[in-house]
Structure 1
C-alpha cells in the first residue's frame, strides 16, 4: 500500500505526540503542517521534518496531502473538519469531534457527503488489545453483559488553561470523560443496545472556574447499566469493569497512553482470575493506519470507530454536560 501523506493542523503538544506515533505507523508519513500562524507551522515542520507548511488554506489546497490530523482545541474542530472533507481529504479528528451533538452531526453529514474517511481519534480503540476486548465481549464467555463502570481523571495545577476555560469547551467530560463514555458506547453496540436511547438517572458535579471539574453520571443504554466518572481536579485510576452474568472483565489500564496501548485484562468468574494479554502498539500510529486502510479500501468509516459510535458519544456527552451544569 502506498504511504499516506499526512498533514497536521494545529502545531501543539498533542499534534507533536501524533507525529511521534506516525513514525511508528506502517502506512503514514508526515508531509505538511498547517496553523492559523504560518510561523508556528514552519517551526513545527522544521522540528519534525515535514516538507511543507503554511496556513490552513495553504495546506488544504495542496494536492499532495491525502489525510489530515486535526489537533486543535475542541471549539475549532467542526469548522476545520468540514473544510478538510470539502477539500477531498481524509480526516482523523482528535476527540471529541465537537463540543455538542448537533455540531458533531453536522460534521458527520459533511463526511457522508464527501465520501472521504472520517475517524474520531479515540486511540484506545485501535490495536491488538482493542481487538482482544471486542472478542471477549462479543463471544460472551461470561454471559450477558449487564454493566459498565469506568473512570478517567487527573489533578491539574494550576486550575487554569484550556481545561478550565469555558470558552474553549473546557471541563472533565469533554477532556477525558469521553474515554469512559466511548467504552460504554462500544460495549452497548457490541451487545446490540446502541440503537436504543441513553437515559440518565443521576449526575453529580463539582464546578471550578465555570467548568465541570469532577462529575459522575449514572445512566442506561437500553438495559445496559453504565456508571461514568471523570475529573480534572482529582486523580482517578484509568480503569474499567464490564460486569457480566457470570463474572466480570477488568481493565486495570483501560486507556493506555499516547505512547503505548493497554496490554492486559482480567477475567473474574467463580472466585478465579485469568489474565489475558495482547501486544502493545503505538496507539496514535495505529489510529493513523486505520485511516490509511480506509483510504486504500475506499471506505468512509473505520470499523474500530464507526460514525454511529461517534454520534452516540456526542449525544451522551452533551446531555451529561447539560445536567452537570444544573
Structure 2
C-alpha cells in the first residue's frame, strides 16, 4: 500500500499528539505542517521531522500532501476542512467537526462533492476495543440494549483558555461530552434506533464564564434510555455502562487516552462477571490508518466513523447544548 503523506493543520498540543501517534501508524508519515503563523509551522515541522511547512494555503496547494489532520480550535474546523477537501485532500478532522449541526452538515456536503475521504477523529471508535464493543452489541451477546450511562469530565483550573471561551465554542459538551454522545449514537444505531431523534427529558446545567461547565442530560433515542454526564470543572470517571436485557456491559475506561486505546471491559450476567481484554493500540495512529485505507480502497468514509454518525452526534450535541442553556436560565 502507498504511504500516505500527511500534513498537520494547526501546530498545537493535540496536533503534537497526532504527530506522535502517526509514528505508530502502518501507512502514514508526517510530511508537512500548516499554520496561520509560518514561524510556528516551521518550528513544529523541525521538531517533528516534517519536510515542509508554511501557511494553510501553501500546504493545501502542495501536490505531495495526500491527507490533512485538522487540529485547530472548533470554530475554525469548517473552513479548513472545506478548503482541504476542495484542494483534493483526504481529511481527518478533530472532533467535533464544527460547533453546530448545520455547519457539520455543510462540511459533510463538501466532502460528498469532493469525493475524498473525510473522517471525524473520535479516537475511541478505532482499534480492537471498539471492534469488540460493536460486536458484543450487534451480536446481542447480552440481549437487547436498554440503557446507557456514560460520563467524561475533568477539572480545569484556572477557569480560562479555550475551554472557557464562548467565542471559541468552549464548554464541556463540545470538548469531552461529545465522547459519551458519540457512544450513545453508536449504541442506538446498533440497537436499531439509528434514525430516531433524541428526546430530552431532565437536564441539569451549571454555566461558568459563559460556557456549559457541568451538565447531565437524560434522554431517549428510540427506546434506548440514555444518561450523559460531562464537566470541565470537576473530575468524572471516563466510564460507561450499557444495560441489556440479559446483563450489563461495563466499561471502566471507555475512552482511553491519546496514546492508548481502552483494553478491557466487564460482562456482567447477574452475580457473574467476566473480564474481556484486547490488545492496546495507539488510537491516533489507528485513526490515520482508517483514512489511509479509505484512500487506498477508493472509499470516502471509514466504517468506524460514518458521516451519518457524525451528523447524528452533531444533532445530539446541539440539542444537549440547547437544553443546557434552557436549564441554566431556569
TM-score between the two structures when normalised by the length of structure 2: 0.98
C-alpha distance in 2 between matches for 1:298 and 1:216: 41
Listed one character per residue, the Cα deviations across residues 87-144 of structure 1 (whole Å, up to 9, x for unaligned) are: 0010000000000000000000000000100000000000011101111111112111
State the partner residue of 1:21.
21
Q: Whole-Å Cα distance in 2 between the matches of residues 219 and 115 of structure 1?
A: 35
- State the secondary structure of the residue aligned to 1:226: strand
Matched, 1:78 2:78: yes
Unaligned runs of at least 5 residues, structure 2? none
Contact 2:200 2:323 survives alignment (8 Å): no
Q: CA contact under 8 A between 2:153 and 2:176: conserved in structure 1?
A: yes
Mapped to 2, the partners of 1:239 and 1:36 lie a distance apart of 37
Kindly tell me the number of residue pairs found equivalent between the two proteins: 326
Q: Distance in 2 between matches of 1:203 and 1:314?
A: 18
**Alpha-carbon distance in 1 for matches of 2:14, 2:52:** 19
User: Greater shift after overlay, 60-69 or 197-206?
Assistant: 197-206
Give deviations 1:243-270, integer Å, cap 9, x for gaps.
Answer: 0001100001000000000000000012
Question: Is it true that 1:97 corresponds to 2:67 in the alignment?
Answer: no
Inter-partner Cα distance in structure 2 for 1:134 and 1:324: 30
Matched residue SS, 1:19? helix
Map Cα deviations across residues 32-68 of structure 1 (whole Å, 9 max, x no partner). 0000000100000000000000000000000000000
Superposition pairs for residues 150-299 of structure 1, below 5 Å? 150-299=150-299
Q: How does 1:60-75 map to 2 (within 5 A)?
A: 60-75=60-75
TM-score (ref. length: structure 1):
0.99
Deviates more, 1:126-135 or 1:188-197: 188-197
Q: Alignment partner of 1:7: what SS?
A: strand
SS of residue in 2 equivalent to 1:58? helix
Alpha-carbon displacement from aligned partner over 1:159-196 (angstroms, at most 9, x marks no partner): 00000000000000000000000001011111211111
Alpha carbons 2:28, 2:288 under 8 Å: kept: yes
Deviates more, 1:192-201 or 1:48-57: 192-201
Which consecutive unaligned segments of at least 5 residues does structure 1 have?
none
Give the 3-state SS of the residue equivalent to 1:250 in structure 2: strand
RMSD, matched Cα: 0.5
